[in-house]
């Protein structure tokens, strides 16, 4: 399959006749990248600031829901996504959180893959060692984003010690430790954003090729390979189609406008 074809090659008739669902990644796709996170040394105070959806994006998503199911996919925690996307919930919308570990659909939260106590002990031990680095380097290790099944630590840049800590605790090699440009995501290899899409397509009774997926980073690769992938950062990760980065314009906004034009033209 040829990759990174221009969006204009995605046929409007195909969109109207075939597409039943659209999965929108969050950061870098429908909101600008950039999270400000600061946690104090003992973890009792936490400040998190992210961007919000533009008024135009909210309007377009509300309109798109008339034609397709909308799924939001993110590494963020489920509760945070609920607050962040409150303007466009709930009809014909799902939230998939923590890189495919949770899905909120039709008022019900599902943990897609089960983990035993040993797994939770492992990530707890990793977190304890990461806290020591935070104490030693408070100027470059900012703190932890609250999550249930994965560990996300925000840093000023890459820190090789973090990767080594994960390796030391993960003799079974069941974890990934992925640099996200803002820090590290640490979680189970057997679960990724595609895991939630498999679950969702079965629930919606549609085929992967009836879903458009989006992404901008390496942790979106499996998702972009699922269905009709549209990368909004082809320099970082490929999709079947691509929207080159444009100053002052989000790829998700360009895609939403293109899809709406296709549906409304009918």
Q: For residue 33, which of 245, 187, 230 has the smallest C-alpha distance? A: 245
Which of the listed residues 163, 188, 213 is the one where a domain comes to its end?
188
One domain, residues 245 and 217: yes
CA distance 23 to 129: 35
Which pLDDT band holds residue 258 (cuts at 50, 70, 90)? very high
Q: For residue 248, which of 76, 75, 81, 56 has the smallest C-alpha distance? A: 56
Q: For residue 20, which of 94, 130, 102, 101 has the smallest C-alpha distance? A: 94
Residue 40 lies inside a defined structural domain of this protein = no
CATH of the domain at 159: 3.30.1360
| pLDDT attached to residue 2 | 67
Strands 93-97 and 102-105: antiparallel
CA distance 224 to 216: 9
One domain, residues 237 and 202: yes
One domain, residues 242 and 196: yes
Residue 220 lies inside a defined structural domain of this protein = yes
Q: How many domains would you assign to the chain?
A: 2
One domain, residues 87 and 202: yes
**How remote is the C-alpha of 129 from its chain's centroid?**
26
**pLDDT tens, residue by residue, 198-237:** 999 999 999 999 999 999 987 788 899 999 999 998 888 8
One domain, residues 218 and 123: no
One domain, residues 83 and 172: no
Q: What value does the mean pLDDT take over residues 49-59? A: 91
Residue 160 lies inside a defined structural domain of this protein = yes
**pLDDT tens, residue by residue, 97-128:** 999 999 999 989 999 999 999 999 999 999 99
Quote the pTM value.
0.91
| pLDDT attached to residue 27 | 87
Give the largest CA-CA distance in the chain: 60
One domain, residues 106 and 204: yes
Q: Give the structural domain span for 139.
A: 117-188
């Amino acid at each position: 399959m040829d990759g990174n074809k221009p969006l204009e090659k995605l046929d409007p008739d195909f969109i109207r006749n075939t597409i039943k669902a659209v999965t929108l990644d969050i950061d870098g796709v429908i909101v600008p990248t950039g999270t400000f996170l600061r946690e104090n040394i003992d973890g009792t105070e936490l400040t998190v600031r992210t961007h919000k959806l533009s008024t135009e994006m909210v309007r377009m998503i509300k309109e798109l829901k008339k034609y397709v199911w909308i799924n939001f996919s993110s590494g963020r925690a489920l509760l945070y996504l609920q607050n962040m996307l409150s303007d466009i919930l709930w009809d014909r919308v799902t939230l998939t959180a923590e890189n495919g570990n949770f899905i909120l659909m039709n008022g019900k939260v599902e943990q897609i893959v089960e983990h035993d106590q040993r797994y939770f002990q492992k990530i707890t031990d990793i977190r304890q060692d990461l806290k020591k680095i935070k104490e030693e380097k408070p100027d470059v290790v900012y703190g932890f984003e609250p999550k249930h099944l994965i560990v996300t630590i925000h840093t000023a840049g890459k820190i090789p010690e973090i990767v080594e800590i994960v390796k030391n605790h993960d003799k079974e090699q069941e974890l990934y430790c992925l640099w996200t440009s803002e820090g590290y995501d640490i979680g189970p290899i057997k679960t990724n954003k595609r895991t939630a899409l498999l679950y969702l397509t079965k629930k919606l009774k549609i085929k992967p090729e009836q879903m458009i997926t989006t992404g901008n980073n390496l942790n979106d690769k499996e998702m972009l390979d699922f269905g009709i992938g549209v990368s909004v950062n082809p320099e970082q990760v490929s999709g079947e189609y691509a929207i080159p980065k444009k100053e002052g314009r989000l790829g998700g906004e360009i895609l939403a406008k293109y899809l709406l034009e296709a549906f409304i033209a009918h």
